[in-house]
A and B are shown apart, each in its own frame.
Chain A
Amino acid sequence: MNAESGQKPETEELFDRLVEEYQLPLKRLCFMYLRDLSLAEDAVQETFLKVYRSMEGFRAESTAKTWIMKIAVNTCRDMLHSAWMRHHDRRTVPEEMQIAAEEDPDAEDARALGKAILDLPSRYKDVILLYYYQDMSQEEIAEILRTSASTVSRRLKRAQERLRNMLEGGREDE
């Protein structure tokens, strides 16, 4: 037993492993929500602090990845809600990003898709990022978003429609 924290050493080892394994994927996920690397780093720290504080209560009813992603998504949403008070506007606009000399003809398409994902409303961004980027199942996503797998499936479909419309030149009704 670690006298200082009251947590078992194996819990701390598990925490170290989780941080090592999920730090970068989480940072990318949080960046896609917050569009700012510094804020994404804050969100990752906040997520892992919540993970650390609740590790004793983690009952492995879901996978560690599902559990951590759920905390991260909620942390990002929370930060987005209070985004107005983060006065340092460091949010990255894709147009402003440094683009390396593009030799790959698909690079511009990838960048356009990335920008479209950034611009999705969050409930569609949720499912696209968790399903296609974090490679989670629809059931796992349903657990994270506290909804049904059928709703996740529908949102995925709709999100793809939205992306297709956005990439084809904007919303159909504008």
Chain B
Amino acid sequence: MNNEKFRKQVHRAVEKVSPAMKSDPFLAQKLRVRARENEEKTLKRRVSAGAVILTAFVVISMGVGIAAVSGWDVMQFLYGDRTAQQIPEIDVFPIRQEVSGDGALFRVDSAVYDGKYLAFDWHFENTEPETPICGYIQKLTANGIPVAGDGGESFEFLWLPSKYIESNFWQNGASVVLPADLAGTETVHIDMLVKVYRPTCAVYEMEKFNMEEAVRKTEEGYFVITEDEGFFGYDPYEEQWTVSYGIENSDGRLRETALEISFDVPKGENSDRVLKPLPVYETEHGTASYDVAAVTAGGLHLTLRLHPDDVALNGIRELILTDGDGSALQGDRFAPDVALRLDSADPGTVIFRYRWSDIRPKDLPDTVSLTCVLEDGTRLLFPVAVR
């Protein structure tokens, strides 16, 4: 493939699938303010989050046999050792299913599902590690509909074990955005098909690829593994022996095993709480409505769309989270993590997108408002009922 030609094609392709974007000339200024405001808050949060994570893992590991052995579950997949962010209240559903065949084992320990997003962990292991294996998730369906994971660190064609992965297992998980048809389904049925490949002849693993050595060892009957991934195989496109990755280059020297695993994940109780704003708020300076008003496991989300009638609503000093009477909600958790002013395609419309990651429903009064404070101190309330 011609490099320069392909580079131009990639540029064009990226632009083709990306929406129109423009720069925010005030971004640097806004970020400096945010960085200063959040400096102390972040430090405090790091300390408290550590304690929360510890508690979460203690609770989850109790009574979960497989997780206790491997120490790997969906919470670890989702949050790992992160300490800068609080773990939200999530209902973790135990799965504890495993399948095995030809010395390969695939296990799912636990899952979470909130009506729209589903995540689960997986553990892939070579139980006969004297010969390395590789594999990949060929099929992942939710209620029969193909879904993609997050495309994260797939284990495909990483040899287990190898110089790159010295252990004989690989742990990760999948985050799945359910198709619109399935959103809200009470229970999601997951089917997975994992293809596993094991060389049928003696393996020779090269520390660093060397063509002469690869040819010689292949002629001697070895299946040559090249560094961390790939193998020495015949590429029908290039019509030559080369470092290969697709199984079609294996020339029948890989034995395939299919592992199938299925499980159900019920919707957790701690899922979205969609708030109920008014369809339109009338003020003396214009109208407003909420595009988004929800409390989720990821915090409070409010996106306010303003249609100013006069300059007053353009001269907003600040937006604050208040109760239904306009009193600002006090405390670290009420400082927003996202505070964006977005230009709308609709002229004369301004959109404010706010998110508070640490807020849970129990933290909120019965009514909240993303309240605009105008230059003259006037507060315009847009109350939303929480309960």
Interface residues of A (CB under 8 A from B): 4-5, 12, 15-16, 19-20, 23-24, 27-28, 31-32, 37-38, 41-42, 44-45, 48-49, 52-53, 77-78, 80-89, 91-92, 94, 97, 106-107, 109-111, 113-115, 117-123, 125, 128-129, 132-133, 135, 150-151, 154, 157-158, 160-161, 164-165, 172-174
Contacts and interface: CB of A to CB of B under 8 A. Distances in A.
Interface string B68-86: 0000000001111010000
Contacts of A118: 17
Contacts, number: 198
B118 interface: yes
Nearest to A80: B150
Nearest to B17: A114
Contacts of A52: 31-32, 35
B335 interface: no
Given A24-B23, A115-B17, A128-B10, 20 more contacts: A5-B32, A24-B22, A44-B27, A49-B31, A49-B34, A80-B175, A84-B112, A84-B119, A87-B297, A91-B177, A97-B17, A110-B15, A113-B12, A113-B16, A117-B17, A123-B153, A132-B10, A154-B226, A154-B229, A173-B138
Contacts of A110: 9, 12-13, 15-16
Contacts of B24: 23
Which 7 A-B residue pairs are closest in the complex by CB-CB distance? A84-B117, A114-B17, A114-B13, A113-B13, A132-B10, A19-B28, A84-B119
Contact of A24 (B6, B21, B230): B21
A81 B16 contact: no
24 contacts: A5-B36, A31-B21, A37-B19, A42-B338, A45-B27, A49-B31, A49-B38, A77-B152, A80-B151, A81-B80, A83-B175, A84-B112, A84-B114, A84-B177, A87-B117, A87-B298, A97-B17, A113-B13, A122-B152, A132-B7, A157-B243, A164-B237, A173-B246, A174-B138
B353 A84 contact: no
Given A5-B36, A37-B19, A28 B138 contact: no
B64 interface: no
Given A4-B36, A23-B24, A114-B16, A85 B88 contact: yes
Interface in B314-355: 338, 340, 353
B154 interface: yes
A82 B229 CA distance: 27
B145 interface: no
B163 to A, nearest CB: 12
- Residue among B18, B114, B176, B272 with most chain A CB within 10 A: B18
A114 B14 contact: yes
Contact of B7 (A20, A24, A135, A158): A135
A98 to B, nearest CB: 8
Contacts of B21: 24, 27-28, 31, 37
Which bucket holds chain B's interface residue count? 35 or more
B386 interface: no
Interface in B190-243: 195, 208-209, 226-230, 237, 243
A70 B82 CA distance: 18
Given A151-B227, A158-B230, A87 B114 contact: yes
Nearest to A4: B36
A82 B17 contact: no
Given A84-B112, A85-B117, A114-B17, A172 B32 contact: no
Contacts of B14: 28, 32, 114, 117, 129, 133
A150 B183 CA distance: 43
Contacts of B31: 19, 45, 48-49, 52
Contacts of B169: none
Nearest to B74: A84
Nearest to A174: B138
Contacts of A27: 21
Contacts of B90: 85
Contacts of A133: 10-11, 14
Interface string B262-278: 00000000001000000
A84 B153 CA distance: 16
Contact of A85 (B23, B36, B298): B298
Interface string B154-166: 1010000000000
B311 interface: no
A114 B88 CA distance: 35
A154 B243 contact: yes
Nearest to A51: B31
A23 B21 CA distance: 10
Nearest to B14: A133
A42 B31 CA distance: 11
Contacts of A38: 353
A125 B245 CA distance: 16
A88 B290 CA distance: 14
